[in-house]
Amino acid sequence: MASAEGTRFNDPRLRALLYQAVLVVVVCGLIGGGAYNAYANMRARGIPLGFGFWNEVAGFDINFHLIEYSPLSTYGRAFWVGLLNTLLIAAICIPLATLLGFAIGVARLAPNWLLSRSALVYTNVIRNTPLLLQLLFWYNAVLKSLPGPRQSISLANAIYLNNRGLFLPSATPRAAAAWFFAAVALSVTAAAMFRGWAAWRQNRTGAQAPVALITAALILGGPAIAVLGAGAPFTFTVAKLSGFNLKGGIQVVPEMAALVFGLITFTAAFVAEIVRAGVQAVPHGQSEAAFALGLHRGLMMKLVVIPQAMRLVVPPLTSQYLNVVKNSSLAVFVGYPDLVQIFAGTVLNQTQAAVQVMSITMAVYLSISLAVAAALNAFNASYSWREH
């Protein structure tokens, strides 16, 4: 009997299950002990244990918000302001950093010596300089050194740049806006259908159609006809000097501009290296075959190299997009009111609900990161499926 029991205990699968059960018990004990210790300390010091602060009056102002907010709004409203401000930065920086990074990455491989070396210097300088230092440079050395509102840098008396920010004309929809948006939707649909038909025709007959020219004509022509027929779809309001500042229009505060410029230039340097590595990973024989078929360098990159490089580029791009979201939390150092500054900063200091506030903040960043990763993984899967 003892020999049989010893034999069962020596079973690797049984030992593995036993060790895992012990590990689960230890981990649960540590988590439970930590939670009880936090609960006891919070209760002893009078720190809020629940989320009742969510509906209390915040009592502080936020200088930039996409939704209605005032000092009489609640902490919950402040949370949504910070979340939308964070998502706005991500929505602006991710596509612009991608476009700039792809351009610099392709320039790194250009036959032009000056162009390739300039791209090399850019990527080496930006990638080896701390992001926080770059944000402070954009904010203090570039934007704060701009002239005051009365000496604003003007573009066509419609766009103004000064140390208070960038002032753009604001658009108010008119009755013709519905026709304009309908024309845009129809034009984009027609362009997509034409591109599909042109690809089908080329696969069957080999004949190429001027896709780029006709697509541009469709996308621009439809809205232009709508404007000529129904009138201007928007009324624009330009900022005007009033007292010591400009009033009206859309103001992009310097804090937001510094954060956007810093994140775009920083992320684009890493995207450029990813693109360069992906392009160089494509076998050289593919380029030689494209040249043998008579394709010039532009068409060779567009039709042969870049499509094959994308399956190698997309996975590491996911990490860079996640870094954009997480690095936006450095906004606190330039004063941009993102989620960290508003909720994990001001709200935490006023309510002392550290556990609840930090848990919510971490859960938000985790959710955003998982959503971005899921979207990129789905795109990568669909792209790989189309390749095969």
Domain spans in the chain, listed from the N-terminal domain onward? 2-44, 75-169+238-387, 170-237
Write the pLDDT tens digit of every residue in 167-202. Answer: 888 888 888 888 889 989 999 999 889 888 888 887
User: If you ran DSSP here, which 8-state letter would residue 236 be given?
Assistant: E
Return the CATH class of domain 75-169+238-387. Answer: mainly alpha
pLDDT in tens, 1-19: 455 555 565 777 887 888 8
Entry pTM: 0.79
E strand or H helix at 241, and its extent?
A: strand 240-242
Phi, psi at 319, each rounded to 5°: -65, -40
* pLDDT attached to residue 8: 60
Tokens 């920086």 correspond to 93
Structure tokens at 20: 């895992």
Distance between first and last Cα of the chain: 59
292-343 confidence digits (pLDDT tens): 777 777 777 777 777 787 888 888 888 899 999 999 989 888 889 999 999 8
DSSP per-residue string spanning 72-129:
TSBHHHHHHHHHHHHHHHHHHHHHHHHHHHHHHHHHHT-S-HHHHHHHHHHHHHHHTS
How many angstroms separate the CA atoms of 10 and 15, rounded? Answer: 7
Higher local confidence (pLDDT), 23 or 50:
23
Position 298 scores a pLDDT of 72
Cα 222 to chain centroid distance, Å, stands at 30
